[in-house]
Amino acid sequence: MKKTITHTCQGTCSQAVIATVDEGRIVEVSFVGGCHGNTQGVAALVRGMQVEDAIARLEGIDCRGRGTSCPDQLARALRKAQEA
């Protein structure tokens, strides 16, 4: 069953992450704001991945000592999708 989650980002240049997940696999990801090239790259790299694999790779990545990053916020959005 397809689920789309919108996650409001905290502590990053991106304002939000929109992630669509189906049967534990990432279908699509888009970021609102942030470094356009970087967020497009991250979205393209995770497309088709298992949610758990993406979370394991992205969770805890830090940007400039903020304690989070756009990839970390994506991991948080994916966790939300799992719980929904």
Q: Given pLDDT bands bounded at 50, 70 and 90, which one contains residue 32?
A: very high
User: Contact at 8 Å (CB) between 21 and 81?
Assistant: yes
> What percent of the chain is predicted at pLDDT more than 90?
93
Q: How far is Cα 34 from Cα 73, in angstroms, rounded to an integer?
A: 12
- Please determine, for residue 69, whether its predicted confidence score (pLDDT) is greater than 90: yes
Give the model's pLDDT for residue 77.
96
- Please determine, for residue 83, whether its predicted confidence score (pLDDT) is greater than 90: no
Q: Given pLDDT bands bounded at 50, 70 and 90, which one contains residue 5?
A: very high
Q: Given pLDDT bands bounded at 50, 70 and 90, which one contains residue 84?
A: confident
